[in-house]
Amino acid sequence: MPRRVTLTFDNGPTPGITERVLEILERQGLRSTFFVIGRNLVDPEAASLARQCHAAGHWIGNHTFSHSVAFGDRPEADFAEHEIATTQRAIGELSHPNKLFRPYGNSGLIGHHLLSRAAIAYLQANRFQSVLWNSVPGDWRDAAGWVETCIAQVLENEWSVVVLHDIESGCLPHLPELLQRLNDLGAVYEQDFPESVILTRDGQTVNLSPEYVSD
């Protein structure tokens, strides 16, 4: 059975990196989602890259403002609102209609640290679609081995949502290799997300496990 793969890119935009990732994806005719960090968009060059991603047909998602503390580790309501709302304002008209949001996972971990009740309340009240992942091959920490790890994870899932990074230490050097390996597998690329990784959508819970909430 062909494996379905959704590629996502976190922690950018990064001048000198993101535009090269875009070129590689364009050559393959692929569309993905870039989950951007709000503080990066303060840089006009990075903000321009976000516009380029959007113009090329990629979706732009919110990946918090500071990308520094998980909501479960700082559960105050004002912190959640600042991290989400400030970034969403910076994204502005580039936003996907469903207002895509991905929480800070602290190295791709899934657990109680991901969300607080205050963060969930804000995401629901403001009708965000919260998106997790099921493949974190570790491109930022294992330059030599992350492609092999990613292929192994894709083979384990019918539909993989892969977290890569358009940052200095991220996926760029080996992204063409990954795409070739996925092509050789006959992977079917998707831009959308399976229900299994969606926590909230349109003000409602979808797959919001208590294991994702600290308080």
User: What is the widest separation between alpha-carbon atoms in the chain?
Assistant: 47
At 7-26, the pLDDT tens digits run 999 999 999 999 999 999 99
- The token pair at 106 is 């602290």
Is it the case that residue 117 has pLDDT exceeding 80? yes
At 64-111, the pLDDT tens digits run 999 999 999 999 999 999 999 999 999 999 999 999 999 999 888 899
91 neighbors 100 (Cβ within 8 angstroms): no
**Alpha carbons 109 and 126: distance in angstroms, whole number:** 25
| Percentage of residues in the chain having pLDDT higher than 90 | 94
Count up the domains in the chain and report the number. Answer: 1
Q: What is the mean pLDDT of residues 54-64?
A: 98
Residue 4 has a pLDDT of 98
State whether residue 128 is helix, strand or coil. coil
84 neighbors 64 (Cβ within 8 angstroms): yes
At 149-182, the pLDDT tens digits run 999 999 999 999 999 999 999 999 999 999 999 9
Q: What is the mean pLDDT of residues 38-59?
A: 98
Is it the case that residue 28 has pLDDT exceeding 80? yes
Residue 109 has a pLDDT of 86
Residue 107 has a pLDDT of 84
Is it the case that residue 215 has pLDDT exceeding 80? no
DSSP result, 131-196: E--SB---TTT-TTTHHHHHHHHHHH-SEEEEEEE-STTSSGGGHHHHHHHHHHHTPEEESS--GG
Residues 6 or more apart whose Cβ sits within 8 Å of residue 199: 115, 123, 130, 131, 132, 205, 206, 207, 208, 212
Residue ranges making up the domain that contains 208: 4-212
CATH number of the CATH domain containing 188: 3.20.20.370
Please report where in the chains the tokens 């081995």 appear, as a residue: 145
**Alpha carbons 196 and 4: distance in angstroms, whole number:** 13
Residue 1 has a pLDDT of 80
